[in-house]
């Protein structure tokens, strides 16, 4: 029989708990748009929706039918940070997962968006993206399906690609359409916030291993303080981009 300590350790690993969990600055979302036909999903329809304990995302198809949307652009639903971008095979094909931060009810909340079955990936792990920025193109999951986008919104940011390890219900997932419609326009905010980035593995998307792969991630900044010049986290997307470029040049 396994010891209690061993069982607890296994549960912590399953949940992606890391004693050295890193955080990095990302921009707060100023609103959420649909991932195809930006910003309102024009030219697309939801062929299959989110169902608790069933289909855990939404399938978006072009109105032309068949594979007429193959290669069409897929966009980030909001400002965020790419935490997974690779071919996961297993019926998924190319997948991108982006972490977003938003303000609601006076609290900062986090949500992950997933874009599956992509034909091409246009972003990399550790890349900051803007709302409406292209992250890939619609694909067929490696020829397994008619062309469409599989889109998910996750409340639980530990899931990654380990869906089997988490409840398949509203405690973990949002209805993507409902989430977006309720947050199309958020109060304009230029602020950044520190977001956890090691809640699942960037290499496999599973919670068992914490081993981020290549891709530039902004180092954890010092807390803002009026008495500490230069410690302020940049307040606009362009400021963050410039900081990244300057740090890259200084290496």
The CATH number that applies at residue 114 is: 2.70.70.10
Residue 226 belongs to domain spanning:
19-250
HSE, side-chain direction, 13 A CA sphere, residue 44: 27
| CA pair distance 153, 114, nearest whole angstrom | 6
Per the structure, the count of domains in the chain is 1
The answer to whether residue 5 is domain-embedded is no
Q: Identify which has the larger pLDDT, 53 or 244.
A: 53
211 lies in some domain: yes
Could you give the CA distance from residue 156 to residue 166 in angstroms, rounded to a whole number?
A: 9
Q: How far apart are CA 128 and CA 239, in angstroms?
A: 12
List the single range of 29-43, 98-112, 198-212 with lowest mean pLDDT.
Answer: 198-212
d(CA 168, CA 163): 8
pTM for the model stands at 0.79
Q: Is residue 13 part of a domain?
A: no
Q: Determine, yes or no, domain membership for 8.
A: no
In a domain, 7, yes or no: no
Predicted pLDDT of residue 15:
42
Give 213 or 30, the one with higher predicted confidence. 30
Strand partners, 153: 113, 174
The answer for 117, left when phi > 0, alpha when psi is -120 to 50, beta otherwise, is left
pLDDT for the residue 246: 67
Residue identified by tokens 């991932």 is: 35
Is the pLDDT confidence value at 23 over 60? yes
Q: Is 36 exposed, middle or buried (0-12, 13-18, 19+ CB in 10 A)?
A: buried
Q: Is there a domain that residue 9 lies in?
A: no
Residue 12 is assigned to a structural domain of this protein: no
Establish if 1 belongs to a structural domain: no
CA distances from 11 to 18, 103, 156 (A): 12, 30, 16
Mean pLDDT of 139-146: 93
Question: Which of 157, 150, 153 has its CA nearest to residue 136?
Answer: 150
Q: What is the pLDDT of residues 50-90, one digit of tens each?
A: 999 999 999 999 999 889 999 999 999 999 999 999 999 98
Nearest Cα neighbor of 122 from 139, 100, 109 is: 139
């Amino acid at each position: 029989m396994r010891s209690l300590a061993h069982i607890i350790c296994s549960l912590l690993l399953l949940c992606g708990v890391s004693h050295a969990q890193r955080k990095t600055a990302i921009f707060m979302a100023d609103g959420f748009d649909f991932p195809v036909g930006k910003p309102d999903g024009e030219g697309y329809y939801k062929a299959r929706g989110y169902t608790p304990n069933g289909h855990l995302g939404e399938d978006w198809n072009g109105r032309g039918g068949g594979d007429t949307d193959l290669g069409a652009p897929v966009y980030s639903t909001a400002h965020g940070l790419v935490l997974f971008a690779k071919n996961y095979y297993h019926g998924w094909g190319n997948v991108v997962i982006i972490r977003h931060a938003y303000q609601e009810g006076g609290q900062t909340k986090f949500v992950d968006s997933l874009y599956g079955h992509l034909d091409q990936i246009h972003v990399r792990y550790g890349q900051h993206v803007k709302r409406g920025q292209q992250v890939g193109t619609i694909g067929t999951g490696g020829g397994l399906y008619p062309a469409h986008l599989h889109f998910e919104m996750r409340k639980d940011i530990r899931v990654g690609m380990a869906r089997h390890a988490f409840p398949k219900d509203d405690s973990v997932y949002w209805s993507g359409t409902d989430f977006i419609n309720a947050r199309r326009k958020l109060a304009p905010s230029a602020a950044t916030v520190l977001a956890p980035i090691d809640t699942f593995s960037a290499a496999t998307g599973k919670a068992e291993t914490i081993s981020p792969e290549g891709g530039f991630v902004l180092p954890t900044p010092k807390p803002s303080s009026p008495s500490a010049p230069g410690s302020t986290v940049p307040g606009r997307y362009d400021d963050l981009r410039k900081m990244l470029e300057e740090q890259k040049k200084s290496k």
